[in-house]
Every structure is written in structure tokens, then in C-alpha cells.
Amino acid sequence: MTQSTETAPLRIAIAGLGTVGAGVIRLLGTNRDLIAARAGRSIEVVAVSARDRTVDRGVDLSGYAWEDDMTSLAGRSDVDVLVELVGGSDGPALAASRAALSGAKGLVTANKAMIAHHGLELAALAENAGVPLKFEAAVAGGIPVVKGLREGTSANALTKVYGILNGTCNYILSEMEETGADFAETLAAAQKLGYAEADPTFDIEGIDAAHKLAILAALGFGAKIDFEAVRTTGIVQVRAADIAQADALGFVIRLIAQADVEGEGKDARLLQRVRPCLVAKDHPLAPVDGPTNAVVAEGNFSGRLLFQGAGAGEGPTASAVVADLIDIARSEVGAPFSMPVAQLTALVPAEPGHRMERTYLRFTVNDRPGVLAEITAAMRDADVSIESLIQQGRANQGGDVLVAVVTHEGPEANVRRALELLDGSDSLTGEPLVLPILPN
């Protein structure tokens, strides 16, 4: 007699046996009874795949079938769900994911790049096959923010979603606060400790956070994913002097990912951007330091909600993967992006020039008469009101100094115009740093 789906094990295959893949196996073994009780049935690994069979991953793989080809893994007849933990927006991860969904198998993935670039296609495949696609681990590690937006805020019209989505950048910025060291030195230390990759470009240029933001925006606003529309600025330009000046002004610097919709109906516009910001010390995101992530969602009935926790690592990410598997074991499917793909809206990107904000500007300039007058004249001609102007002292023997300007609230376009007026000036010896001040 065939077992019912409620009591038969959920059979999974794991593609990718790095830190997270091994963590999933370890978690499923350690909490086996608890997971089965909560899922209503056991979750069993039946097959695995990775690039190298010989690597010691600290877990026993002898009981699982091995497939060298991930697409073959996804097509096995004894597999109900593929867990994709390889990474990369395309290549083997995407091919295996397509194969799994096309073959009416569920898919759980931690791959934010793949979801940001191909999420709509994969969601459509899942809907057509009537199988689940889940990606809690793709955003903010162990924090249940995907589930929180998809289910917990489902009765709300969200006004904005924003937060700290990259642990590497947050670690670097908070270490710069703590030690007073500059960016390059702190990045090198983070790499030695394993908080930053050997090639940290995706992190420090804001691309990783942009992938995650595009996913959250789709979930939060019923929008089609539009990763290409995310305006992205990283943290490479931030100096120790900026950290110190922010502290003196009552702020910390954080890389903030923000998304919100302005207007309604045909006039609705979606703004998505990732950029370092000054955050007031009494803001809920200011105490978030180290590799921690945090997401704020503001709903018209729920008010402000804060999700905070470990944004990466074996345990938190494996926890998010297994939480998705438990949902699938309970037969909880649902639309991957809160509503069917056909109902998601292709929102036009917003132009933020009219938006009002205060701004911190830092200029590296020659220490000579007339420089401050030139900066203030550009601000005047662009209709930017200056709240404070601070000359931070001689930076080196070459005669360069740092000049920091904090503006009163005004249109973003005016600040942009002031910088255009100063572009090409012999007085400026480096590219200005522009840090918006995050409203409370």
C-alpha cells in the first residue's frame, strides 16, 4: 500500500556541498525528530552533487547517491525537491533549477543572483507545474524576511522596504567606527577573518545588496523583479574621516538598500537604490553592526516592522533552507512572489530628483584661498541651503584637506546640480562623496 504524502518522507537532493550545503545536512541530522514533528513527516536527503567528490566536508555523505551532473540530479525519479546551493545567476545552477521545476519538482534555493535575474521565469515554471519555489535563504540569511513580507504583511499596503542587506559592508563600516582604520585596511582584515571574499566586488560595490533589494521590492509591492533598475553605489569611497565626522554629527554610516513606490495606478513609480547613508544614532538601524542584517518594512496598518539577525553563515542560512523545506513538507505552496506572476506589475523606475532629503557632502580640495567660496557659490547657484560646513584639516603633506558640507532638506536634483557646477574644478583633487541622511 502506497503511503500518503502526509506521512511519506519528503525526498530532497542537494546541489552544492559548500558551507551551507554541509550545514543543511548537519541540521537535518541534528534536529531530525523536531523537524519531522513540525513538518508532519521526515525530510530525507537521497542524493547530492558538487564539483569535487574528494573534499572532506565534515559530514557523512556515504548514504546518499552522488550525481556529477546537477541537471541529472534534478531529474532523478526519487527526488521531490531540489535544494540549489551552488550560486551564480546562470550556468549549472540555473539549468538544474529549470530542470527541477519543468519536471514538476519543488525548488529551494539560496541563490539571490539567480532569483534577481531569473526569478519571474522560475516562478512561472513553478506555477505551471503546481510545485513550490522558495528562496528564504536568498535574502538576509536566517532572518525570515521573505516569509514576513509574503505572509506576515500580506494584508498591508507597504509604503517602503529598506535595510542593511550586506553583512560584509556592515562589518567593514562598523569596524571602521571601532578602530578608526581606513577602508582598505579594514577590508584586508575582513578578508583574513573570512567576512569578505577574496574578490569582494559584489559586496563592496553594493551589487549583492541590490540583488536582495530587487527580490524584496517584488515581494513587498507586487512588482515584477527589475534588478537593472536598482541604482547602486558602494562603500569604497568612505574614509575613516567620514566615519569620524558622522560620529561627531550624531550619525553612523551604513549601506542602506531602499525601495518604495510613489503614485498610484498607471502613475506608480518604483524607486530602488543601494547607497551608503548617514543614519541617526537613535534610528533602529544604527545599532546594527558587524555582519548582522536588518530589514524595515512599513505597512499602512502594521506600522514599522523590524526584522534583524544573522545575514549569512552556515547555521542561519541552513536554518532558512530547512524552514522552506518544512513548509513544503506541510504542502504549503503559494505564489513565490505573493501573487501569481501574471498579476505582478511592471512598475516604471522612479526618477528621484524631486525627492527631499538632507545630504552630507565631502570634498577633497587643495588647501588654498577661495576654495570654500567656490564650493559655497556652487551650492548657492544650485539652490542648495547649507546647514554646516566643516574644514577637517590638512590630510597630508601634499596640501589636500577635507571639506564636509551638511545641507538642509532640499531636492536631490539641486545637490546633483551643485556637483555638476563643481565638476572639473582645479580646486577639487578627488571625487566628492555624497551620503544622504536617512530620515527617522
Q: Is the pLDDT of residue 103 over 50?
A: yes
- 212 in active site: yes
Q: Per-residue pLDDT averaged across 57-83, rounded?
A: 94
Cell of 191: 578578508
CA distances from 268 to 85, 115, 160, 298, 423 (A): 36, 24, 13, 18, 33
From the list 105, 112, 134, 212, the catalytic residue is 212
**Pairing mode, if any, of strands 43-49 and 10-15?**
parallel
φ/ψ of 276, rounded to 5, equals -70, 140
Could you state, in order of their start, the residue ranges of all structural domains in the chain?
A: 10-138, 145-310, 354-438
Q: CATH topology for 10-138?
A: Rossmann fold (3.40.50)
Q: What's the mean pLDDT when you consider all of the chain?
A: 93
Angle at CA 293, nearest 5°, toward 239 and 208? 70
φ/ψ of 200, rounded to 5, equals -90, 15
Residues 72 and 55: their CA atoms lie apart, in Å, by: 21
**Pairing mode, if any, of strands 158-164 and 231-232?**
unpaired
Write the pLDDT tens digit of every residue in 156-197.
Answer: 999 999 999 999 999 999 999 999 999 999 999 999 988 888
Write the pLDDT tens digit of every residue in 202-243.
Answer: 999 999 999 999 999 999 999 999 999 999 999 999 999 999
Residues 227 and 118: their CA atoms lie apart, in Å, by: 10
Helix/strand/coil percentages in the chain, nearest 5: 40, 25, 35
CATH number of 354-438: 3.30.70.260
With 0-12 CB in 10 A as exposed, 13-18 as middle and 19+ as buried, what is 44?
Answer: middle
Q: Is the pLDDT of residue 142 over 50?
A: yes
Residues 152 and 389: their CA atoms lie apart, in Å, by: 44
**Pairing mode, if any, of strands 386-394 and 303-310?**
unpaired
Q: For residue 139, which amino acid is it?
A: V
pLDDT of residue 1: 28
Percentage of the chain exceeding pLDDT 90: 85
For residues 96 and 108, is the Cβ–Cβ distance under 8 A? Answer: no
pLDDT of residue 399: 67
CATH number of 145-310: 3.30.360.10
Residues 43 and 14: their CA atoms lie apart, in Å, by: 12
